Structure formats: structure tokens, C-alpha cells
Amino acid sequence: MNKNNYSLYRLMNIYMNDSLAGIRFFYNIKWPQGFACEECGSSHYIYDEGNRCFICAHCGHKEDLLAHTVLSECLDNPNSLVLGLYLCLTSKRRVTQKELAQLVTIPTKSAAILIKNTEMIDECNIQEDIIKKMFEVTENTNESRVICMTETTGSIINIVNTGQVITLTVKYIVDHHVYSFKEEAVLKPARQLLLFKSKRKVPVLGTLRVGQEVTVYYDEKHPSTAYLKDNAR
């Protein structure tokens, strides 16, 4: 591993200038294949930055970023936790709880948890992989999908039905700018009537028509990034 590529200076430049960098790091560790709600399996979510919480856009289930992880008791800023973990992994001598707490401004309890889990990482010989992932939060946009979503109302402006796939074009307005996106309608089995089984599938959004209002989630920082709120199983 080239130390110049993974220097403390470069790491601080990333995490001191991007408030979401730490969230992306832990997101990529926790959900390497992308977010999946533990209640309903939906991949769509809203991120509540103030409470460090992921909210399923389909069923509303809430999950803390670090829930079900060894750092679940650490309620600190994710960026500070990443910096603390980096110092633990790269320090030539063992850093103390008090030193770590002062260096990255976290409670000594959180510092103790980081130090303890650094020992586990060392034993598993995965420290280089963890350090590399700390620097990947801005290099791979496909893996760094943590975004703060805002709800708005849009409308369906076009429907293309091939018989197997229904593609919707949706328009919405943010700050007087008009945006649009295409999304495939999620289908579900049609309701069974009496004793007759039906193989027909219908949109989870219900009957679709041009002009129909729909709820849209868009990225506050990049409003052209959006998806339908209720288009999930």
C-alpha cells in the first residue's frame, strides 16, 4: 500500500470538507450491495442526517447507521469515528483512550470501543482493506450512494408499456427548475379472484395515467437525482 496515497493529510482533507464522507464509509461497509430494509427489503431510503438514521421510503422502518455493528454504542460524528479508526490502525505505538478522545474529539468510551475493534481488525489482517475504503468515499460514486432526500410532488408525463415492462417518465419542479426522470414501474401479482389464479401483474402504484400526481424523493444537493417514493414492493 502506497503510504502517500493514504496519508493522514489526504484523509483529513476529505473528511473535514465533506460532512457525508464518514456516513458513506460506514454505509459501504454495512451495505456493500446497497441499502436493503431489514423489514421489507426495499432499496429506497431517506437519510435523516440530524439523527444519523436511514428511513425506508417504502415501509418507514428506521435504522441507525451503526446499528447491528461493533460500533453501535458510538453516537458520535461518523467523520470523527473514521479519523479515530485511522489513527488507531496507523499509529506506530498504541494510542491511549485519552489521547484518541482528545485528538478526534470523541468521548473516552467511544475511543475505547475504537481501540478494542482495532485489535480485532489487526487479528483478521484486514487493516489495509479498511484504510483503502476510507479513501474510496469520493472515488466511486456508485458505491457512495448516501444522499439526503427531500420529498416533493411530481406528475407522470409519459407511460410506455411493452406488455412486460412499464416505464414511467416523471416531471417535478425544484426551485422553479423543471426536472424529469424515467423509472420502471414495480409490479406485483394481481389480486386473486375467487378460485381462479391470475398470473397477471399490476403496478404497486395502482392504476397509472398521464397527469397522475406521484410523490418524488430528490437529492437536495443534486436535484436531478430522484426516484418515486412508493414504487417498491
DSSP code string of 87-149: HHHH-SSPPPHHHHHHHHT--HHHHHHHHHHHHHHHHHT-HHHHHHHHTTTTT-TTT-----E
**pLDDT tens digit string along 72-114?**
888 889 999 999 999 999 988 888 999 999 999 999 999 999 9
**pLDDT tens digit string along 53-65?**
888 877 778 899 9
Q: What is the pLDDT of residue 140?
A: 43
The pTM score is 0.64
The three grid cell numbers given for residue 191, joined into one nine-digit string: 389480486
Among the listed ranges 4-13, 44-53, 69-78, which one has the minimum average pLDDT value?
A: 44-53
What is the C-alpha to C-alpha distance for residues 83 and 62, in angstroms, rounded to an integer? Answer: 26
Q: Residue ranges per domain, the chain?
A: 8-134, 149-228
